[in-house]
Every structure is written in structure tokens, then in C-alpha cells.
Structure 1
Amino acid sequence: MHGPALSGWLLMVLCGATGAYCLLRTRDGTERERRSARAEALMGFGMAAMAVPTALLTLPARTWVLYAAVFGAASLHAVVRARDGGHHLHHLVGSLAMVYMAVAMAPGASHAADGAHSGHGAGAAGGVPVLTGVFLTYYALYVLRSAGRLIPAPLPAGPPLGGSTDVLAGPGGRPELALACRLAMGTAMFAMLLTL
């Protein structure tokens, strides 16, 4: 990832922890929830791997091709699952964004960008500004929407409607944690796109 090493470390830890939590969520819930958790775990671990600072590890050129292939396959899977509704359209956008970043961050992409914009003082990162802007706009709106959904609604006075005060056990029993993970990954994706 292009950018300061500290931000790369922070993104790597955040995305890795989010991916690990999503992996835990694959054990609970309905098949649809587990499928969504698997896709989010793949995204979290993929983003963590992409955010590894170059000071720690310089990835070989073929790694970017592997990223593009894995997330291209995830995009095709999301297209097939999109007809089921749910969160699959977001997974499609996320997978396409990962393919885009893998192609833009490949070693040859920065030279192509420099040649195309040498008169404008372009940076070392690749990418098409309009496409980067579309992804940035999507993730900015997604983060704002997700953050708004995390704001608690006022509780009615009195005992709970079901009469039970038990909280569901396990990682899948807390839907606000799943939403917080999606918010964290959306924010991380926005930050990674900013570096292009």
C-alpha cells in the first residue's frame, strides 16, 4: 500500500482483527449469515495483506495478479449471489474495489500513471482518478450509513417485550458487532483508496 508505514500497520491490524471476528461469525447464524461472514472474512484478510507496509515486506509482482484473481472470483460469486439480495451487492462493490486496487498497485501501474500524467506532477500510485472517486464516494456514503445504524434507538420504558433479559451468546449473537466490523472495513477501504 502506498502511504506512511504507520497507517499501513494500523490498517493491517484493524483489517486482520476484523477478518478474524468475521471468521468466528461463520460458526453461528443462518446459512445466509455464515455466507456473508465468510465473504467479509475474505475481505478483511485480503485488505490486511494488501496493507502490509513495504518496510516489512516487499511483495513480488505476481502477488498483485493473485489478489486480482482471488477478488475477481469473489466478484463473480457476488454477482451470482446478488439475486438473493442482502449484503451481496456491497460484497460485489468491495471485491471490484479490491481488484481495482490490486491492478493499480501492481509495480508496472505506477510507471504507466507517471507516463500518462508526467506533466501534472502525478504521484507514484496508479489508478484512474474518476474510478477512484466513484469508489471513494461509495465508501464514504456506506461508512456514514453504517455509522448512523450503530446509533442506539431509545428503549421503551419497562421490561423487554419478550420478557427475557438474556443476550444471545456467541459471536453471531451481537448484530451490532457485525455492523461495527462492516463499518471498520468500510473505513479501511476508504483509507486504502485514498492512497491511490
Structure 2
Amino acid sequence: MHGPAGLGWLLVAVCALAGAGCLARARRVRGRAREAAAAETAMAAAMALMALPGGRLPPAGFAALFAALTAWTLTLLARRVPHQLHHVAEAAAMGYAATLMAVGGHHGGPSAVTGLLALYFAGHALHAGARLLPAVAVAPSGGPPGAPPWPLLPGVAHACRLTLSLAMCPMLLL
């Protein structure tokens, strides 16, 4: 990713923390919810890797990584695993950015496709935030006996999606 190193490290931290939350949730749930959380974990890890200042993979490597994530989320979508249409868009958008980097050395800028993708992810962040507010209002305030562990609290999945959508915007535009 091009841009200030401080922003890159901030995005690494944000994506890594979101990935840790998704991984914790994936370890606690079963079935399709586990597959959805695993896809979110993989996306967060790949985004954190891409945001690392100095680049650890060549752009073609990132393009291949996000192509594989796109293919995986498409198979999950075909199997009706929840929230995969958005993850297909995420992985494809990052693959698009990596492909532009591989071809021209830079992926951000004023292109119409980049702008539309940034608008989509900004809108998705607002939508996820709106869904998160009621979940925060009903979350237990302490740790009473019988309360679910934090990865299973209402809103953790929305918080992960919100975080990744917010991180997508600067990653696309820089």
C-alpha cells in the first residue's frame, strides 16, 4: 500500500485486531457461522499483510492471494454461507487494487471504479455501524454467570465487518 507509513501501521493494527476478533468468534461457533468467521479472519489477515509499510509480497502475489480469497468466498456464497456477497466484493476489490499495483505501481487514485468501491465500503460501514448500535445496547455489562463469552456477544460480527469496511476505504484510495 502506498501512503504514509503511520497510516499503514494503523491499518495493520486495525485489520489485525479485527482478524483476532473474527478468529476468536470462529473458534466458538459451528457450521456456516464458523465458515463465515473464518472467511472474515482470512480477509483481515490478508488486508493487514497488504497494509504493511514496505510491502512484504510483490503486487502480483497480493493479486493471487485476493483471487484465491475471491474464489473461496464465491464457493461459500454458493453454499449459502451468510455474508459472503460482501466478502466477495471485499476480496475482489483488494484483488483489483493489487492488480493495478502490479500493472502500474500504484492502486489508488481518481478512477471511477476505485471511487465506486470506496463509496460502497463507506456505505457498508455505515450500515454495519447502524446494526451494531442495538447490539451494543443489549450487551451484558459485566460478566454475570451464564453470560456468553465475548466472541459470541451480539455485535462482534458486525464490529468485524465495520472495521474491515472502514479499512478498505483508505486502502483503495492510497
Normalising by the smaller structure, the TM-score range is: 0.7 to 0.9
Output the CA distance in 1 between the equivalents of 2:44 and 2:157. 12
CA contact (8 A) 1:101 1:127 kept: no
Q: Aligned pairs, how many? A: 168
Q: Which residue of 2 aligns with 1:119?
A: none
Alignment-derived partner of residue 118 in structure 1:
none
TM-score by length of 1: 0.76
Partner of 1:53, secondary structure, is: coil
The percent identity for this pair of structures is: 38
Match of 2:52 in 1: 52
Q: 1:153 to 1:41 in 2, by over 3 A?
A: closer
Kindly indicate whether the alpha-carbon contact (under 8 Å) linking 1:19 and 1:45 is maintained by their aligned counterparts in 2: yes
Q: SS of 1:37's equivalent? A: helix
Which deviations, in whole Å up to 9, do the C-alpha atoms of 1:22-80 show, x marking residues without a partner? Answer: 122221112111111111111111111111112xxx445xx322221122122122222
Distance 1:67 1:170, change over 3 A: same
**TM-score, normalised on structure 2?**
0.85
In structure 2, relative to structure 1, the CA distance for the partners of 1:105 and 1:24 (3 Å cut) is same
Q: Larger helix proportion, structure 1 or 2?
A: 2
Residues 1-196 of structure 1 mapped to structure 2, 5 A cutoff = 1-54=1-54, 58-59=55-56, 63-83=58-78, 84=80, 86-106=82-102, 108-110=103-105, 125=107, 129-152=111-134, 166-169=146-149, 171=151, 173-195=152-174
Distance (whole Å) between structure 2 residues aligned to residue 32 and residue 85 of structure 1: 5
Q: 1:153: how far off?
A: 7.3
Q: CA–CA distance in 2 between the matches of 1:43 and 1:77?
A: 11
Cα distance in 2 for partners of 1:29, 1:77 equals 19
How big is the alpha-carbon RMSD for the aligned residues of Structure 1 and Structure 2? Answer: 2.5
Structure 2 stretches lacking a partner, 5+ long = 139-143
Q: Per-residue deviation at 1:3?
A: 1.1
- What letter is aligned with 1:31? G
Q: Letter of the 2:44 partner, please give it.
A: G
Specify every segment of 5 or more residues in structure 1 that has no aligned partner in the other structure, as ranges.
Answer: 111-123, 157-163
